[in-house]
């Protein structure tokens, strides 16, 4: 029996290089050897209250981008989270074993709560935590942190646990959520004295989880940071973004330490370019002969080599409604069969029985 793999991406916009190198690239490789179940996390997208008009369009975009990047519905199960209602039911059940405190302490929750409440993310401090707690409890504000945002990790844990997945390919930003998933599984198993739930591990073919940086000098590439290169970006647009990436005035003495913006450019180069190319620029940096313009041009060429073939396929697949709906209805059927099994077992151990 093949090991089970689960992962998903929220339909909050088009996929960027962070999603690709952090997750999707591994999805495509893993479908060859594992029992893979990849989904569009539309219920998770609801935690940030998207416009109902765009939610479905975005979900369709992600599906098309999955397939354009190489996911094959003949090899992997591809589905939409909301097509598997068993997930929502188990989410309710698992929440009975999850503490409000541990949810409030997760980094992703604190970041998103800060955004929802209009507290600046770059001033992360203890007093912010207190401000968040105050405003969460206070009622006069029309800015609200919804309960779905708080219980986001429970829903994510259920996505994984309901399929009994042992491997979860995700980027570094999701590691804390995976840690919680393992903790919830352990807690459930020990409370009911069972080994029903499987503790999953992050997977990146033996390497550490990836954090793709943005082009603005600091932090990760992210939709809400406005620093993304999208798979769908026209080549000219992509090149412009790369050429405008933040740099510094260059190394003045040999073997200088790298500033964050330059280290970020090297991280992107390592993800997209051949090892000898990276080595060439590393040497040039070390002996102060580097020209950032050359590095950026090389980076843009190598990004184009990854994204151009994907971009061309996205449009065709998006236009094929019949193929997409066939793919997800078959995917949902398979995902539901496994989910219904686990849900029935969970209910059984929790003492929920039919009269």
Residue 144: phi and psi, rounded to 5, are -130, 145
CA distance 149 to 162: 20
- Report the candidate in 254, 101, 114, 296 with the shortest Cα–Cα distance to residue 180: 101
Q: Which of 75, 172, 211, 223 is catalytic?
A: 223
Taking the C-alpha atoms of residue 21 and residue 303, their distance in angstroms, rounded to an integer, is: 11
**Minimum distance between the CB of residue 18 and ligand TYM, rounded to whole angstroms?**
3
Helical segments of 46-165, H only? 52-68, 85-95, 100-104, 107-117, 126-137, 147-150, 152-161
What are the C-alpha distances in Å from 185 to residues 22, 109, 173, 201?
24, 20, 20, 12
Distance of closest approach, residue 17 Cβ to ligand TYM, in angstroms = 8
Of 185 and 290, CB closest to ligand TYM = 185
Minimum distance from residue 209 beta carbon to ligand TYM (Å): 8
Nearer to ligand TYM, 156 or 262 (CB): 156
| SS3 call for 35 | strand
Nearer to ligand TYM, 77 or 174 (CB): 174
Exactly one of 75, 110, 211, 220 is catalytic; name it: 220
DSSP code for 24: I
Contacts with ligand TYM by CB under 6 A lie at: 6-10, 18-19, 22-23, 41, 44, 156, 159-160, 168, 170-174, 177, 210-212, 220-222
Least distance to ligand TYM, CB of residue 232, Å:
16
Name 198's Cβ contacts closer than 8 Å, sequence gap at least 6.
Answer: 161, 164, 165, 166, 185
The burial class, CB within 10 Å (0-12 / 13-18 / 19+), for 101 is exposed
CB of 320 to ligand TYM, least distance (A): 24
CA–CA distance, 292 with 265 (Å, rounded to integer): 9
Q: How far is the CB of 159 from ligand TYM (least distance, A)?
A: 4
User: Nearer Cβ to ligand TYM, position 171 or 331?
Assistant: 171
- Residue listed under structure tokens 């940096």: 285
Per the residue annotation, which of 60, 112, 241, 296 is the catalytic one? 112
Any catalytic annotation for residue 112?
yes
Give the closest residue to 260 by CA, choosing from 269, 268, 271, 248.
248
Complex with ligand TYM: residue 148 or 222, whichever CB lies closer: 222
> What sign for the dihedral angle of Cα 289, 243, 171, 115?
positive
Q: Which is nearer to ligand TYM, 117 or 170 (CB)?
A: 170
Active-site residue list: 112, 220, 223
């Amino acid at each position: 029996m093949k090991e089970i793999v689960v992962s998903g991406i929220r339909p909050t916009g088009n996929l960027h290089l962070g999603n690709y190198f952090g997750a999707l690239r591994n999805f495509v490789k893993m479908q060859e050897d594992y029992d893979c179940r990849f989904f569009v996390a539309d219920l998770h997208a609801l935690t940030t209250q998207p416009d109902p008009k765009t939610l479905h369009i975005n979900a369709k975009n992600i599906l098309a981008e999955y397939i354009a990047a190489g996911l094959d519905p003949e090899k992997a199960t591809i589905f939409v989270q909301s097509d598997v209602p068993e997930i929502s039911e188990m989410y309710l059940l698992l929440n009975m074993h999850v503490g409000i405190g541990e949810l409030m302490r997760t980094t992703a929750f604190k970041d998103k709560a800060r955004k929802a409440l209009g507290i600046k993310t770059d001033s992360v401090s203890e007093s912010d935590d207190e401000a968040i707690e105050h405003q969460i409890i206070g009622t006069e504000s029309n800015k609200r942190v919804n309960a779905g945002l708080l219980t986001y990790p429970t829903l994510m844990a259920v996505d994984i646990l309901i399929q009994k997945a042992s491997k979860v390919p995700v980027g570094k930003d999701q590691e804390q959520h995976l840690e919680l998933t393992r903790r919830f599984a352990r807690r459930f198993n020990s409370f009911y004295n069972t080994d029903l739930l499987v503790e999953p591990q992050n997977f990146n073919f033996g390497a550490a989880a990836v954090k793709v940086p943005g082009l603005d000098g600091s932090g990760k590439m992210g939709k809400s940071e406005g620093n993304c290169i999208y798979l769908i970006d026209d080549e000219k647009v992509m090149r412009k973004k790369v050429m405008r990436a933040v740099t510094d005035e260059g190394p003045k003495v040999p073997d200088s330490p790298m500033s964050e913006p330059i280290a970020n450019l090297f991280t992107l180069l390592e993800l997209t370019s051949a090892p000898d190319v990276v080595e060439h620029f590393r040497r040039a940096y070390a002996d102060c002969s580097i020209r950032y313009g050359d590095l950026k041009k090389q980076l843009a060429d190598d990004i184009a080599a990854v994204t151009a073939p994907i971009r061309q396929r996205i449009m065709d697949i998006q236009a094929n409604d019949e193929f997409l709906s066939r793919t997800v209805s078959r995917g949902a059927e398979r995902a539901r069969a496994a989910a219904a099994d686990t849900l029935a077992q969970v209910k059984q151990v929790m003492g929920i029985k039919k009269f």
